[in-house]
Amino acid sequence: EDQVTQSPEALRLQEGESSSLNCSYTVSGLRGLFWYRQDPGKGPEFLFTLYSAGEEKEKERLKATLTKKESFLHITAPKPEDSATYLCAVQGGGATNKLIFGTGTLLAVQP
């Protein structure tokens, strides 16, 4: 059964304190791994799509990496505006485009 586990559930950082969020997955035939940011009361905002092990993508203070079993979202020198819930999702093989979501990591960055 396809499964996604994110850790930690919550993370509190000081402004400028770099860290990483983890997304472990088991899926039959990975077609894509997706990272989203979600602010309270709003829809998920797309950040990155990764397709194969070894792939990396960057956007401002965020960098996403992918191995055959997990993905990391590295946050370098975070700012308070980076505070949000970060969701990881995978899309496996099969006839549908169904996303399997993890439960998210709630990030709080304190000034």
Partner 1 sequence: DTEVTQTPKHLVMGMTNKKSLKCEQHMGHRAMYWYKQKAKKPPELMFVYSYEKLSINESVPSRFSPECPNSSLLNLHLHALQPEDSALYLCASSQVTGGNTIYFGEGSWLTVV
Tell the smallest beta-carbon distance from residue 99 to partner 1 (Å).
6
Compare residues 41 and 111 and give the one whose CB is closer to partner 1.
Answer: 41
Helix, strand, or coil here: 68? coil
Tell the smallest beta-carbon distance from residue 94 to partner 1 (Å).
8
Residue keyed to tokens 């079993």: 69
Compare residues 72 and 101 and give the one whose CB is closer to partner 1.
Answer: 101
d(CA 73, CA 35): 8
Tell the smallest beta-carbon distance from residue 66 to partner 1 (Å).
13
Per CB under 8 A, residues contacting partner 1 are: 31-32, 34, 36, 41-46, 49, 51, 87, 89, 91, 93, 96-99, 101-104
Compare residues 78 and 92 and give the one whose CB is closer to partner 1.
Answer: 92
Tell the smallest beta-carbon distance from residue 16 to partner 1 (Å).
28
Q: Tell me how crowded residue 81 is: count the other CB atoms within 10 A of its CB.
A: 9
Complete DSSP assignment for 38-53: E-TTSPPEEEEEE-ST
Which residues contact residue 53 at a Cβ distance below 8 angstroms, ignoring those fewer than 6 apart?
A: 66, 67, 68
